[in-house]
Amino acid sequence: MSAAILELRGVEAAHGDAQVLWGVDWRVRPGEVVAVVGPNGAGKTTTLRVVAGLLRPLRGEVWWDGVRIDGLSADQVVERGVALVPEGRRLFAHMTVLENLLLGGYAPRARQIRRETLREVFQLFPILEERAGQPAGTLSGGQQQMLAIARALMSRPRLLLLDEPSLGLAPRVVQQVYEVVGRIAREGVTVVVVEQNVYPVLQHAPRGYLMAQGRVVAEGTAEELLCTEVVQRSYVGG
């Protein structure tokens, strides 16, 4: 295995007094698309929040591109090329599509080349250019997910973290979302996708982790994960 560009070592974290992560280890190589699946409450979202700098871990380390980033705040993490598309998209619903995108490129490094990035993003998502002046809250669910991804791309990330990108979307739209993710990955961006719904993500990510109860319980190729008994048990409610 070549060197990991993102590495989590024994990450433990808590919400208030309740500890929810109990030693999470991830190793992600440059340019990989990695799936993280598991049932509700497994700690997937919390782990992403730790990586993005929204939550400080109790113990453990997060390394990104040779730098230890646990302890940095979210604005510092995004400046280092890590972008999170949060669960539920979290668009600025009262602001226009264009304003959402401009905010995506707010970090100093990204702001210097914001016009170019905007042009590229509009090429990838022509619908967003058509709707640029419209409040983000008036877009359809699929368009909102596209905008959430586009907004994250405005920060020029080299690591894109996606939290439940298929949630609440029709299968055909989910397919479109994953096509876009595939194109982003082919540009050389490393991608980590968290999904509770295993099937679409494991069609597109060659490898992944299965989490449950705040730990990584299995690791392997998409086929292995799909066949893992644990997957069966986790989802059939064992």
Partner 1 sequence: MEVWLQNVTFGALVGGLYGLAAVGLALVFGVLRMLNVAHGELIMLGGYATFWLFTLWGLDPYASLLVAGPLLFAVGVALYEGLFGRLVRLHEESKIQLSILIGFGLALVLHALAILAWTADDRAVTAAYAGRVLHLGPLVVPLTRLGGLAVAFAALAGLHLFLQRTDAGRAIRATAEDWEAAFLMGVPVRRVYRMAFALGSALAGVAGSLVAVSDAISPAIGLSWTLKALIVVVLAGLGSIFGTFVAGVLLGVAESAAAFALGGVFREVVGLVLFVAVLTLRPQGLFGRGL
Which residues of this chain interact with partner 1, rule CB under 8 A?
A: 52, 54, 73-75, 78-79, 83-84, 86, 90-95, 99, 102-104, 106-108, 110-111, 151, 155
Closest approach, Cβ 84 to partner 1, in A, equals 5
- Identify which of residues 155 and 234 has a Cβ nearer to partner 1 in the complex: 155
Closest approach, Cβ 222 to partner 1, in A, equals 28
* Tokens representing residue 31 in the block: 């340019």
As a whole number of angstroms, the distance between CA 45 and CA 211 comes to: 11
Closest approach, Cβ 214 to partner 1, in A, equals 22
As a whole number of angstroms, the distance between CA 159 and CA 162 comes to: 10
- Identify which of residues 93 and 170 has a Cβ nearer to partner 1 in the complex: 93
Interior/surface letters 193-206, b for 16+ CB within 10 angstroms, e for the rest: bbbbebebbbebbe
Closest approach, Cβ 143 to partner 1, in A, equals 17
Asked if residues 38 and 44 have their Cβ atoms less than 8 Å apart, the reply is yes
Closest approach, Cβ 75 to partner 1, in A, equals 5
Residue 75 has phi, psi (to 5 degrees) of: -70, -30
Q: Strand, coil or helix: what is 62?
A: strand
- Identify which of residues 62 and 198 has a Cβ nearer to partner 1 in the complex: 62
Closest approach, Cβ 117 to partner 1, in A, equals 13
- Identify which of residues 58 and 93 has a Cβ nearer to partner 1 in the complex: 93
Asked if residues 155 and 110 have their Cβ atoms less than 8 Å apart, the reply is yes
Q: What's the Cα-to-Cα distance from 60 to each of 5, 89, 166, rounded to whole Å?
A: 17, 28, 30
* Tokens representing residue 223 in the block: 């086929």
- Identify which of residues 83 and 198 has a Cβ nearer to partner 1 in the complex: 83
- Identify which of residues 73 and 203 has a Cβ nearer to partner 1 in the complex: 73
Q: Strand, coil or helix: what is 228?
A: coil
